[in-house]
A = this chain, B = another copy of it.
């Protein structure tokens, strides 16, 4: 039987990847990248940290194989590394949410009171029937980087000015970054306040995409 040494190397390599998920700052970057690829400066700003720091975290993520980097002229574009990376990140997030009351509480504080929710499968069926208007309320760049087929982009900031763009004979479904993203909640509240029938997709774009990539995900 081989030495325990090789086995040790194995665990060390996996831990290297695990370390990538051990810092809130890195997770925040990963969360942003799950929506759309970005440059270092944008990532730094949107996650509220210094550029140098963000760069270091991004390198750590890159070393762990969780993100890819491509040079685009003068900027470097980071993107999430692929299905595996996305799957781990979502699994970790969900497990944490399921396990810790603290997360629940924080989420509730952040998201506000509940609004009506619709599941992925139901949405798919109703889209096929032409039964609903689907609105992507994330920032326009994230929509541009990828979105649910058939969705219309109305960033949450512009929603109240662009209400008439939504046909009023159909129910509205809003979605955003995921279950812990406040945009869709907010959108549904605004729509309800205007007397519109609206609900939000239970999760967001990354989950939808992952489900499309590997149809067996629940």
Residue numbers of A with Cβ under 8 A of B are 1-2, 4, 6-28, 31, 48, 65, 81, 84-85, 87-88, 91-96, 98-100, 102-103, 106-107, 109-112, 180, 182, 186, 214, 216-218
A15's contact among B9, B22, B94, B95, by CB below 8 Å, is which? Answer: B22
Residues of B within 8 A of A102 (CB): 9, 13
Residues of B within 8 A of A186 (CB): 1
Interface of A, secondary structure class, is: helix
Q: A15-B24, A27-B14 are in contact. Are A9 and B106 (CB under 8 A)?
A: yes
Q: Which of A10, A15, A92 has the most CB of B within 10 A?
A: A10
Sampled A-B contacts (6; CB under 8 Å): A8-B24, A15-B27, A88-B92, A91-B91, A216-B217, A216-B218
A84 vs B98: C-alpha distance when bound (angstroms): 9
Tell me, rounded to whole Å, the shortest Cβ–Cβ distance linking A144 to chain B. 23
B24/A21 in contact, CB under 8 A:
no
A27/B18 in contact, CB under 8 A:
yes
A22/B27 in contact, CB under 8 A:
no
Residues of B within 8 A of A23 (CB): 15, 18
A180/B87 in contact, CB under 8 A:
no
Residues of B within 8 A of A7 (CB): 106, 110, 180
B2/A109 in contact, CB under 8 A:
yes
